Every structure is written in C-alpha cells, then in structure tokens.
Amino acid sequence: MPTLKVTSKRQATFPAETCESLRLKPGDVIDLERRIEKGETVWVLRPRAKPKRTWTARLAHRVKPGMDHSLEAIRASIAAGRKKEERDRWA
C-alpha cells in the first residue's frame, strides 16, 4: 500500500504510482472530500477539473514580444487579412 509522509511544513510527496493512477502532474490541484464510511472517516482525493481555456488563451502562442496589441493595430491586421482574402479569391 502506498504511503505518504508529512513534513514539518505539512507537505507530502505522492508515490509515482498514485500520481499516475490519479493522472496528476506538477501544479495540479486536488480536492479532498471527507466521508464517513461504515463509521470511519475516509478521505477521497479527486483531481480538480482543469478550467477550460478561454478563446484568448488559445491565441497565446501567436503573441510575439514587441507586438502591438492596440485596437488600431488589431483592426489594421483584420483589414489586411480581408484584403488578402479578396486578392486570393480573384487570383
């Protein structure tokens, strides 16, 4: 049976097999649920569901240092894309 040892700072390291079973990765959050089963207190560990990424987070890979993120720059980029679509349509 896997065991945990709690340090003086109340930190614990999970055995690798437990992390694999729970599909835990560094930085994951675990919810603890206290239950009474047959008169005994037991704790249920449940990895917290990861929040769905917002549409803006999905664009993070496209952001480059020094890029202009002003509304004017965004509108200019959209206009340039539309012009390119128009040119490609008639080519």
CB 67 within 8 A of CB 77: no
Determine, yes or no, domain membership for 2: no
Determine, yes or no, domain membership for 61: yes
The total number of structural domains that make up the chain: 1
Q: What is the mean pLDDT of residues 46-52?
A: 81
What DSSP state is assigned to residue 55?
Answer: T
Task: Find the range with the poorest average confidence among 3-7, 38-42, 66-70.
Answer: 66-70
Determine, yes or no, domain membership for 52: no
What DSSP state is assigned to residue 56?
Answer: T
Residue 61 is part of which domain span?
Answer: 57-90
Higher per-residue pLDDT: 47 or 42 = 42
Determine, yes or no, domain membership for 68: yes
Determine, yes or no, domain membership for 78: yes
CA distance 11 to 9: 5
pLDDT for residue 2 is more than 80? yes
pLDDT for residue 14 is more than 80? yes
pLDDT for residue 80 is more than 90? yes
Which residues face 41 on adjacent strands? Answer: 36
Please tell me the predicted confidence (pLDDT) of residue 82: 93
For the chain, first and last CA: distance in Å? 68
CA distance 91 to 88: 5
Determine, yes or no, domain membership for 63: yes
pTM of the full structure: 0.45
